[in-house]
Structure 1
Amino acid sequence: MSYNMPGYGGGYGPPQGPPPPNHLVWAILSTIFCCLPLGVVAIVFAAQVNSKAAAGDYAGAQSASNSAKTWAMVSTILGAIATVLWVIVYAAALSNSS
């Protein structure tokens, strides 16, 4: 049996089940609400997941999924830290102006 047939991923092997999660919603939300540059990186990786899985590159799809998750997490954490620091600085400025 040849795995170069349509529907078998162009030579990468037989289909291996559903694609890994792409984390696209998390990537978009972290871009909008947290940290724009890192969120864009997460969106790029998230967008690669389904196309790699459809091409039969399941290792590449899993790698892109992991990268999307990592970048979305970093974006969210840095956005949360920046927000907390902003609140502290704002509160300090308000207490000094009184």
Structure 2
Amino acid sequence: MENQMDNPPNDYLVWSILSCIFCFWPTGIAAIVKSLDVRKAVSMGDREKAERSSKITKYLILATIIVGVILLITVIVIQVA
């Protein structure tokens, strides 16, 4: 029988931590939690949950970066104006 976790989904943990530190921490924390869910699902052999959590983690990281950039631009505009 072939192991389903030979090629586990990416957990994006490093990206989650970096986006939390440098961009917007509320969604960054959610990304870290989901990233840890990926690791837990992989360790339990639940490929479906791991893939679903990995996808959510990726979207949370993207949202964190977008919100962080928007906030940075807003602060710059306010400081210049």
Give 5+ residue unaligned stretches, structure 1.
2-13, 93-98
Do the aligned partners of 1:22 and 1:46 also contact (CA within 8 Å) in 2?
yes
Q: Root-mean-square deviation (CA), in Å?
A: 1.3
Query: Which runs of structure 1 show a deviation greater than 4 angstroms over 4 or more consecutive aligned residues?
Result: none
Largest Rg, 1 or 2:
1
Question: CA separation in 2, counterparts of 1:39 and 1:30?
Answer: 6
Q: Which has the higher contact order (CA 8 A, sep 6+)?
A: 2
What code does the residue aligned with 2:79 have?
Y
Which has a greater percent of helix? 2
**Aligned partner of residue 19 in structure 1, secondary structure:** coil
Gaps of 5+ in 2: none
Q: Does 1:76 align with 2:65?
A: yes
> Alpha-carbon deviation of 1:15?
2.2
Deviation at 1:22, TM superposition (A): 0.4
Corresponding residue for 1:10?
none
1:1-98 residue pairs with structure 2 within 5 A? Answer: 15-16=3-4, 17-92=6-81
Paired-residue identity, %: 35
TM-score (norm 1): 0.77
